[in-house]
Amino acid sequence: MLLSRLARVSREVAATSARSRKIALLGGLFRDADAEDAPIVIPYLAGRLPQGRLGVGWKILGQGVPPAAEPTLTVRDVDARLTRIGAVTGVGSQAERKRLVGELLAAATDEEQRFLVALLTGEVRQGALDALAVEGLAEATGAAPADVRRAVMLAGSLRTVARAVLANGPGALDAFRLTVGRPVLPMLAHTASSVAEAVGKLGACAVEEKLDGIRVQVHRDGDVVRIHTRTLDDITGRLPELASAALRLAGERFILDGEVIALDEDGRPRSFQETSGRVGSRLDVATAAAAVPVSPVFFDALSVDGRDLLDLPFTDRHAELARLVPEPMRVRRTLVEGPGDLAAAEAFLAETLRRGHEGVVVKALDSPYSAGRRGASWLKVKPVHTRDLVVLAAEWGHGRRTGKLSNLHLGARNPDGSFTMLGKTFKGMTDAMLTWQTGRLKELAVEDNGWVVTVRPELVVEIAYDGLQRSSRYPAGVTLRFARVVRYREDKRPEEADTVESLLTAHPGAAP
DNA sequence: TTCCGACAGTGGGGTCGCAAT
DNA sequence: ATTGCGACCCCACTATCGGAA
Q: Which residues of A are annotated binding-site positions?
A: 208, 215, 230, 259, 299, 374, 380
Can you give the distance from the CA of residue A421 to the C1' of nucleotide B17 in angstroms?
A: 29
Q: Residue A89 — very low, low, confident or very high, per pLDDT cuts 50/70/90?
A: confident
Active site residue A492: no
Q: What is the percentage of chain A residues whose pLDDT exceeds 90?
A: 78
Residue A14 host element (H or E): helix A3-15
The span from the CA of A43 to the CA of A129, in Å, is 9
Answer yes or no: is A89 CB < 7 A from strand B. Answer: yes
Backbone φ and ψ for A317, nearest 5 degrees, come out as -65, -40
The span from the CA of A9 to the CA of A411, in Å, is 45
Mean pLDDT of chain A: 92
- The angle, 0 to 180 degrees and rounded to 10, between the axes of the packed helices A158-168 and A145-155 is 130
Average pLDDT score over residue span A367-390: 85
Q: Tell which wins on pLDDT, A95 or A217.
A: A217
pLDDT at A496: 97
Average pLDDT score over residue span A318-336: 97
Answer yes or no: is A17 CB < 7 A from strand C. Answer: yes
Backbone φ and ψ for A5, nearest 5 degrees, come out as -60, -45
Give the angle A225-A228-A233 at the CA atoms, nearest 5°: 130
A92 CA: nearest nucleotide by C1': B19
Which has the minimum average pLDDT: A96-105, A240-249, A340-349, A405-414? A96-105
Q: What is the pLDDT of residues A264-292, one digit of tens each?
A: 999 999 999 999 999 999 888 999 999 99
Q: Which of A59, A98, A210, A424 is flagged as catalytic?
A: A210
Can you give the distance from the CA of residue A203 to the C1' of nucleotide C18 in angstroms?
A: 28
Q: What is the percentage of chain A residues whose pLDDT exceeds 70?
A: 98
- Which residues on neighbouring strands pair with residue A107, listed in sequence order? none
pLDDT at A58: 74
- Which residues on neighbouring strands pair with residue A210, listed in sequence order? A359
Protein-covered nucleotides of chain C (CB closer than 7 Å) are 4-19
pLDDT at A375: 60
pLDDT at A372: 60
pLDDT at A373: 58
- The angle, 0 to 180 degrees and rounded to 10, between the axes of the packed helices A130-141 and A19-32 is 60
Answer yes or no: is A493 CB < 7 A from strand B. Answer: no
Q: What is the pLDDT of residues A208-257, one digit of tens each?
A: 999 999 999 999 999 999 999 998 999 999 999 999 999 999 999 999 99
Q: Residue A370 — very low, low, confident or very high, per pLDDT cuts 50/70/90?
A: confident
Asked if residue A36 has pLDDT above 80, the reply is yes
The span from the CA of A346 to the CA of A341, in Å, is 9
Q: Which residues of A are annotated binding-site positions for ATP?
A: 208, 215, 230, 259, 299, 374, 380
Q: Residue A38 — very low, low, confident or very high, per pLDDT cuts 50/70/90?
A: confident
Q: What is the pLDDT of residues A60-87, one digit of tens each?
A: 777 778 999 999 999 999 999 998 888 8
